[in-house]
Amino acid sequence: MELTKAKLSDIAQMQNLVKPYIDEGLVLARSDDETANMIRSYTIAREGGAIIGFAALYIYTPKLGEIRSLAVAKERQNRGVGGAIVQKLIEEAKTLGLEQILTLTYRASFFERFGFKEAPKEEVWHHKVWEDCIRCKHFPICNETALILKI
Ligand SMILES: CC(C)(COP(=O)(O)OP(=O)(O)OC[C@H]1O[C@@H](n2cnc3c(N)ncnc32)[C@H](O)[C@@H]1OP(=O)(O)O)[C@@H](O)C(=O)NCCC(=O)NCCS
């Protein structure tokens, strides 16, 4: 497996990979245009040329970023791919000089092993609500856990 930054030509494969999780309500749908607009934020895991997972490090403020849109192909899960992507994005956040990374997830324990700690949702809400939550099918009853990593 190799980790690389995304290219615009990856978008179609990324959309195919994430579609089942969008349908399950685990990941928020993003259009091709939105994905292209933020293509620099994505890190991709590849195996033999095929995309097997990806996630984005999105920047809200000079201090705060978010890991979002994390998805690993079903048949490649539980082999460390998701963990490797998160680790890479944490390194990227450090290099950029971010101080905190937030994430909203149904898999709190997955993020806790990197040092993420649960945070009151209100702390992250104002960053996310008008940009993303408003488009989520679970809004406004959100059962995700908000977590923050101080780096
Ligand atoms: C969440 C998700 C990205 C995790 O990806 P993944 O590649 O399975 O992640 P990892 O393999 O690094 O870790 C998954 C589990 O496998 C375990 N694991 C990692 N490497 C392993 C290995 N070599 N052998 C056995 N188990 C392993 C980890 O300990 C982890 O357990 P935990 O979740 O209880 O902490 C993936 O399940 C997914 O795409 N889910 C659907 C989309 C989704 O929910 N996205 C939103 C997440 S915010």
The tokens for 111 are 């993020």
80 three-class SS: coil
User: Ligand 1 in contact with 71 (CB < 6 A)?
Assistant: yes
Topology of the domain covering 2-150? Aminopeptidase (3.40.630)
Q: Which atom of ligand 1 is nearest to the CA of 109?
A: 35
pTM (two decimals): 0.92
C-beta of 114 in contact with ligand 1 (< 6 A): no
The answer to whether the beta carbons of residues 47 and 3 sit under 8 Å apart is no
Cα separation of 58 and 41, whole Å?
A: 6
Q: Would you state the pLDDT for residue 69?
A: 96
| Structural contact between residues 127 and 63, judged by C-beta atoms closer than 8 angstroms | no
Task: Pick the residue whose CA is nearest to atom 5 on ligand 1.
Answer: 82
Give dist(CA 110, CA 39) in Å, integer: 25
pLDDT at 140: 64
Whether the CB-CB separation of 148 and 108 falls below 8 Å is answered with: no
Give the pLDDT means over successive 10-residue stretches in the chain (151 positions).
Answer: 98 98 92 97 96 97 95 97 98 98 94 94 68 68 85 94
DSSP letter string, 124-151: HHHHHTTTTGGGSTTTTS--PEEEEEE-
Domain ranges of the chain: 2-150
Ligand 1 atom nearest to CA at 113: 35
Q: Supply the pLDDT for residue 120.
A: 83
Ligand 1: atom nearest CA of 84 is 12
